[in-house]
């Protein structure tokens, strides 16, 4: 349904400078984010993530393109559109000399929450972010994890339709990271969330969809389920107690190659349309090799990320060489 689309980006482009032939920082990207969805926005440093986030939140105007927030064009009605956005930049905009309550009251006033509703809005934001017990404490005396929670609380205090989080777990310890990830998942119950990050496990643990931006262009847009399928490979890892006869494995239908990993482990490559795991297990037992491990090989999200961004860079270099030679 159209009213479930809370963020709509169409042909978004941004140039820095006016040099002839300059590459745009963001190059003609389009995507949508629906209600209740967490979108992971991935990319290497300098890929255009922060520029895109700044345009979506109204802090930077696009050179070309259109952004609508909850059906409102951010260029035509900037105040109304921004009222539906909560933003946590990479460096949270905190006043460390204030208490948590003082700071959130200030944020409530900035977001034009009426005086009679401020107490309830502050209490709700504190409860959702696990800050109910630290309202009287100075922000400067809080741990980095709690300061990040305060940053998220200011982003959601006015109950925006859209929440944009830029690198929300940078510098946190593993326990704090787990807590912030859980909080982000809870936010998706009532908001659309864009999570900009370069931390790959963050996406797998938190997001419903992932987009990869490289050199200003979207090079991948997929669901987490689709990403998991991309991580699957056409190979199996077999580890046994006794020595393996590779020729016997090569005779199994669908097996195309067997390579030795170490003295008791081999990698078995097979045709994508087949899965010879059951036959391999059966023969391993029949041959008395004593099966210790039979697992599918998987590419990591990091490997997919590197493959996509490297391929894009190589293609661009080839185009530039072709144009230079012409």
pLDDT at residue 316, as a whole number: 53
CB 192 within 8 A of CB 162: yes
Report domain extents, the chain: 2-228, 232-298
Which one, of 168, 237, 153, 151, lies nearest residue 205 by Cα?
Answer: 168
Q: Which fold has domain 232-298?
A: Alpha-Beta Plaits (3.30.70)
287-323 in b/e burial notation, b at 16+ Cβ within 10 A? eebeeeebeeeeeebeebbeebbeebeeeeeeeeeee
The class level of CATH for 2-228 reads: alpha beta
Please state the pTM of the whole predicted model: 0.76
At 280-301, the pLDDT tens digits run 999 999 999 999 999 988 777 7
Q: Which helix (H) or strand (E) holds 213?
A: strand 209-214
Rounded average pLDDT per 10-residue block, the chain, 326 residues: 80 79 87 92 85 92 94 94 92 94 97 95 93 96 92 94 89 83 85 85 87 90 82 88 94 94 92 91 95 87 76 50 47
Taking the CA of residue 188 as centre, how many other CA atoms within 13 Å lie in the half-sphere pointing to its CB?
A: 21
For CA atoms 254, 256, 259, 263, the dihedral sign is positive
Give the pairing of strands 64-69 and 38-42: unpaired
Ramachandran sector of residue 36 (left: φ over 0; alpha: ψ -120 to 50; beta: rest): left
Which one, of 139, 173, 168, 140, lies nearest residue 155 by Cα?
Answer: 168
**Fold match flag (2-228 vs 232-298):** no
């Amino acid at each position: 349904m159209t009213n479930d689309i809370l963020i709509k980006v169409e042909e978004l482009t941004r140039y820095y400078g006016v040099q002839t032939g300059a590459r745009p920082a963001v190059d003609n990207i389009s995507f949508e984010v629906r209600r209740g969805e967490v979108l992971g926005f991935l990319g290497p440093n300098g890929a255009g993530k922060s520029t895109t986030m700044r345009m979506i939140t109204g802090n930077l105007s696009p050179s070309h393109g259109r952004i609508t927030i909850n059906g409102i064009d951010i260029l035509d009605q900037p105040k109304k559109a921004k009222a539906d956005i909560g933003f946590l930049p990479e460096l949270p905009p905190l006043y460390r000399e204030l208490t948590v309550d003082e700071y959130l009251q200030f944020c409530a006033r900035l977001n034009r929450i009426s005086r009679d509703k401020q107490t309830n809005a502050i209490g709700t934001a504190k409860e959702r972010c696990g800050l109910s017990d630290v309202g009287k404490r100075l922000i400067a005396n809080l741990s980095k994890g709690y300061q990040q929670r305060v940053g998220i609380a200011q982003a959601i205090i006015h109950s925006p339709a859209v929440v944009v989080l830029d690198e929300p777990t940078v510098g946190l310890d593993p326990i704090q990271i787990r807590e912030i990830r859980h909080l982000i998942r809870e936010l998706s119950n009532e908001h659309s969330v864009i999570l900009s990050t370069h931390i790959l496990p963050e996406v797998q643990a938190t997001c419903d969809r992932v987009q990869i931006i490289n050199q200003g262009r979207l090079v991948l847009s997929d669901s987490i389920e689709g990403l998991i399928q991309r991580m699957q490979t056409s190979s199996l890892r077999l580890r046994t107690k006794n020595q393996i006869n590779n020729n016997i494995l090569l005779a199994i239908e669908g097996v195309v190659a067997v390579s030795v990993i170490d003295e008791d482990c081999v990698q078995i490559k097979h045709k994508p349309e087949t899965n010879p795991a059951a036959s391999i297990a059966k023969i391993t037992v029949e041959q008395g090799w004593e099966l210790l491990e039979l697992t599918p090989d998987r590419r990591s999200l990091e490997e997919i990320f590197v493959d996509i961004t490297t391929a894009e860079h190589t293609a661009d270099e080839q185009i530039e060489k072709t144009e230079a030679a012409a």
